[in-house]
Structure 1
């Protein structure tokens, strides 16, 4: 059985200043909302955050940006966050932008124990500067190293008490691979089920990758609402 915490402050209490964090989600879909709020409340500093993007100005990782808690962000794009853009242009934050598929594979490789791999994405662009390249089958590839984190903060729809996770639709984005690539994985879930509830075929993340569970209600904000005129 995995420990189930009652407090988001308690479940994140040993995340120190300077930690490397993977934080799941795509835009605002599938982000661990309450775990991020706990980091903001604890005022943890000098974080290196690995995430697809950095939320919006007033929600998700944007809250940590506002409080200047992030020292470096490793992501695939700036997204809808004006404060992120401002900090990047002002040189106030260190940013490593990586092609989205490459970012996903770097995380997946980290969870699989693969130290590095070659990819054609980014060859001949600034993304490949200073990196080793090789030619395979007449095509040039760039060497990319895997990513791992001290803590992975992820979000799932349901968990059982063994830590097996099931995601809801597009919330199954970066969460499964990040769950495997963290030394300690904390899963924020909407529903906790008894062991044996899930059919083995519906489990997206096996419990072996999860160290801590906590149940929390989600606001599920919409990143950009578009309606007809």
Structure 2
């Protein structure tokens, strides 16, 4: 794990190596009002293209997230909604249309939990209705199973290449206490952090020596980089 100063240059360094087609998750949004702004500014300035974005639907109302979409690097948005919704579109500055598909919070968290377990795909009830959950063809893997009279559909696990997260507190071991707020957003943020290949966390307060066990929402083993006001 690396500790970096909470600066724009450090945020850009934290995203170094992000490649075309990467999956980026935005968590810790605290009902959409608070986001990892420095990391998002860095994301808006990268040269990688065809990125796939996972985020709570409320995050799309935040200017820092809108700037990332306007920049034109996002190819597909998958937003988490409390209730079944409908696919919509966003637009880049150049007038390019970006599809915004939806999953319920439960569906997105389910896919991320499978990603945390290092699965490529899994079976669950409910039909496929998004590109992001469409699995790659796999020899010997059936697309649908029947069990107890119920149908289970094969779906792709979600494993973000990077998760950008805002935390309320962190300690010297990198353990995180997430921002309080909506329970669905809270669970989704924790799943995004644990499933990602690289989790980048912003926390404006200095790290404490150690968070109590009941305060830890994301163990430090899942955290790659912390952007903070001071190192431990």
Cα distance change, pair 179–56 in 1 and its aligned pair in 2 (3 A) = closer
Cα distance change, pair 167–54 in 1 and its aligned pair in 2 (3 A) = closer
Deviations 1:53-91 (A, max 9, x none): 3734561321111121201223335x9xxxx73449x97
Work out the CA distance in 1 between the residues paired with 2:96 and 2:46: 25
How far off its partner does 1:167 sit? Answer: 1.0
Q: What's the secondary structure of 2:153's corresponding residue?
A: strand
Cα distance change, pair 8–91 in 1 and its aligned pair in 2 (3 A) = closer
Aligned-residue CA RMSD (Å)? 3.1
Q: Does residue 167 of the first structure (1) align with residue 178 of the second (2)?
A: yes
Count of residue correspondences:
206
Q: Runs of at least 4 residues of structure 1 off by over 6 A?
A: 128-131
Alignment check: 8 A CA contact 1:155 1:175 kept: no
Q: Does residue 10 of the first structure (1) align with residue 9 of the second (2)?
A: no
How far off its partner does 1:98 sit? Answer: 3.0
Q: Does residue 195 of the first structure (1) align with residue 209 of the second (2)?
A: yes
Q: What's the secondary structure of 1:55's corresponding residue?
A: helix
How far off its partner does 1:122 sit? Answer: 3.1
In structure 2, runs of 5+ residues without a counterpart are 136-142
Q: Does residue 69 of the first structure (1) align with residue 73 of the second (2)?
A: yes
Cα distance change, pair 71–127 in 1 and its aligned pair in 2 (3 A) = closer
Work out the CA distance in 2 between the residues paired with 1:188 and 1:24: 11
Q: Which residue of 1 aligns with 2:103?
A: 98
- When the two structures are superposed, what TM-score results if normalisation uses the length of structure 1? 0.75
Work out the CA distance in 2 between the residues paired with 1:127 and 1:211: 29
Q: 2:167 aligns with which of 136, 156, 162?
A: 156
In structure 1, runs of 5+ residues without a counterpart are 217-229
Q: Does residue 52 of the first structure (1) align with residue 69 of the second (2)?
A: no
Q: Does residue 21 of the first structure (1) align with residue 24 of the second (2)?
A: yes
- When the two structures are superposed, what TM-score results if normalisation uses the length of structure 2? 0.74
Cα distance change, pair 127–148 in 1 and its aligned pair in 2 (3 A) = closer
